Amino acid sequence: MSGAQTLSLTVLPADALIDVPRRIVLHGAPAGARVTIASRTERAHGAPWSADAAFVADADGIVDLSRDAPVSGSYAGVSALGLVWSQTPVDGASRDVFPTPLSAPLVTTLTASVGDASVSAQFTQRLAAEGVTRREIREQGLVGTLYLPPGEGPHPAVMVLNGSGGGINEPRAALYASRGYAAFALGYFKAPGLPDYISNTPLEYFERGLRWLRDTVRPAHDFIALSGQSRGGELVLLLGATFPERVSAVIGYVPSALVHSAQNAADPATGREGPTWLLNGEPLPHIWENNRTASWAPYDEGPAPHRHAHAMLTALDDPEAVERARIRVECIRGPVLLLSAEDDGSWPSSRYSRMVAERLAAHGHPHPVEHFDFERAGHAIVFPYVPTTQVVYAHPVSGRVSTGGGEPAANAHADERSWAAVQAFLARAVAARAAQAAGAPSSDSPSEDTHDTHR
């Protein structure tokens, strides 16, 4: 059995949302032959990303990536989409994973080679399902993008908030909308018409965003969840605690239990120890403020790649400062999902998430609290089947080079498991809200069901 005509390479499904797993199978290789499969994903703007791995065909001449581990290459172990998450940019530097505009899908070409024979196949990953609509929002001083699912609705809603990189998190909003949620990605700095820095951001801006979302979308069961990443994870907990009547559920990706200073997204005029959040025109107390133990030295002077988390840990040694800066999460009036990373290089999200869960349990929080803590994973938990290899980066505001931590395989696992957890959490939260609205007994379980899961 030889020659290109004997080989066939299939990817199923060939065209689907980015979060859909695929099965990649090669047929027609000689039994026991070494097979090299390479992936290459082109982008409309920016460098292509690529990976490759070598496999040994079984007695039937088959290589099945959902069953077979490579013998060498870009990744190790069995992983159906290892040739996606292990990709690196061919220019060695790019970090822009998603296309511009987001309506442009990611198209990956796979090429399998056996000796002189080769065969190719393509598959397409989409961030927005057919029928999802996109609308830029420039109203009431708000700057964001609203994604709506197909159909008349009403749909439950999610407000999506980015972290210290600023901007508008459209990829996550597009995917939320593709899964049935009216998703409002709200920018609050480093977006058109907004400040360049996170410093002195008023919380009332987000309250206005919540009111606008409720009035505009009129969500099903009056359900609005908050979803935030990193500083956005800190922010969604803070908003849930500050405006509890407006927030139905909170999803914190690698969040903080504490209010932090402006850090790497600071306005140089106020510095990284200046305030981030304002309420009623006054800065909220933050962990670096009057802290007797906090030091930037472990970050600034530590070995490359620098770990921001090392500085954050010094601040936790002053218990009085910690207590002053704690987010009063016990005021949140809905379920809470915490997604953290054990090897988080940006800040100690595992410890912060435990602090949140413990405080909620201590106050008898009457709604579910779930905590997924991912072993060997780093700060950049997003959603499944995207490259996870670029863990060292220059901060988009300060330009400081540091590591988010984690290993590519562990980061890929965290991406997959976290998104499954988010979808299940939201489904339960919406069902509980619907039951409450209908006057039926809620299926919410109390905070003693809080769990800390290593996946």
Q: pLDDT per residue over 311-349, tens digit each?
A: 999 999 999 999 999 999 999 999 999 999 999 999 999
Structure tokens at 266: 């600071």
**Of 396, 356, 387, nearest in space to 87 by CA:** 387
Q: Domain map of the chain by residue range?
A: 4-126, 133-454
d(CA 128, CA 131): 8
Dump pLDDT digits (tens) for 393-442. Answer: 889 999 999 999 999 999 999 999 999 999 999 999 999 999 988 886 65
- Beta strands in 280-345, from DSSP E residues, in sequence order: 282-283, 336-341
Report the predicted TM-score, pTM, of the whole model to 2 decimal places: 0.94
**Of 400, 353, 398, 361, nearest in space to 377 by CA:** 353
More confident residue, 5 or 192: 192
Return the ∠ at Cα 226 (arms to 136 and 239), rounded to 5°: 105
Structure tokens at 232: 């956005």
Say what the pLDDT of residue 202 is.
Answer: 98
State the burial class of residue 174 (Cβ atoms within 10 Å of its Cβ: 0-12, 13-18, 19+): buried
Question: What whole-number percentage of the chain has pLDDT above 90?
Answer: 88
Domains 4-126 and 133-454 share a fold: no
Task: Reply yes or no on whether the pLDDT at 448 is more than 50.
Answer: no
Structure tokens at 231: 């500083």
**Of 251, 261, 215, nearest in space to 353 by CA:** 251
DSSP state of 344: -
Return the ∠ at Cα 400 (arms to 394 and 404), rounded to 5°: 60
Residue identified by tokens 């690698």 is: 254
Say what the pLDDT of residue 2 is.
Answer: 41
Q: Does domain 4-126 correspond to CATH entry 2.60.40.2240?
A: yes
d(CA 267, CA 387): 31
| H-run or E-run covering 42 | strand 34-42
d(CA 104, CA 43): 9
Q: Which residues contact 215 (CB under 8 A, 6 or more apart)?
A: none
Count the alpha carbons within 13 Å of 45 in the hemisphere toward its beta carbon: 7
State the burial class of residue 301 (Cβ atoms within 10 Å of its Cβ: 0-12, 13-18, 19+): exposed
- Which positions are annotated as active-site residues? 230, 344, 379
Q: Are 342 and 381 in contact (CB under 8 A)?
A: no
Q: Which fold has domain 133-454?
A: Rossmann fold (3.40.50)
Q: Are 137 and 144 in contact (CB under 8 A)?
A: yes
d(CA 433, CA 431): 5
Say what the pLDDT of residue 438 is.
Answer: 84
Structure tokens at 401: 């080079």
